[in-house]
Structure 1
Amino acid sequence: MSESQPTPPPAPLFVERGASWYWVLFGPICAGLLLWIQNSGGYEFEPVIPSVLLVLVSGMLAVQVKAARVHTSVELSKDTLRQGTETIRVADIVALYPEAPRPVGWGKQELQKWQESRALGELSGVPRRRTGVGLRLTGRRTVQAWARDHRRLRAMLGELIPETISPGGPADTEDEAESPW
Structure 2
Amino acid sequence: MTLNGPDADSSAGGEPTQVVLFSEPGASWLWLLAGPAAGIAMMLIQLSAGYGIQWFVPGLFFVLVSGFLAIQVKAARIHTSVELTAHKLRQGTETTLTDEIVRIYPEATGAETPKWQYARALGELTGVPRGRTGIGVRLSNDRTAQAWARKHHHLREALTNLLEERIPPESKS
* Shorter-chain TM-score range: 0.7 to 0.9
Equivalent positions of 1:1-181 (< 5 A) are: 6-101=14-109, 109-162=111-164
Please give the secondary structure, in 1, of the residue aligned with 2:19.
Answer: coil
Using the alignment, how far apart are the partners of 1:123 and 1:6 within structure 2?
31
Using the alignment, how far apart are the partners of 2:81 and 2:53 within structure 1?
42
Deviation of the 1:7 alpha carbon: 1.8
Deviations 1:128-180 (A, max 9, x none): 0100001001100000000001011000000011269xxxxxxxxxxxxxxxx
Supply the AA of the counterpart residue of 1:96.
Answer: I
Q: Which has the higher helix share?
A: 2
Structure 2, unpaired ranges of 5+: 1-12, 169-173
RMSD: 1.5
Deviation of the 1:111 alpha carbon: 1.4
Using the alignment, how far apart are the partners of 2:51 and 2:118 within structure 1?
58
Using the size of structure 1 for normalisation, the TM-score is 0.81
Q: Which residue of 2 aligns with 1:170?
A: none
Structure 1, unpaired ranges of 5+: 103-108, 165-181
- Aligned residues: percent identity? 53
Using the alignment, how far apart are the partners of 1:54 and 1:137 within structure 2?
47
Count of matched residue positions in the alignment of Structure 1 and Structure 2: 154
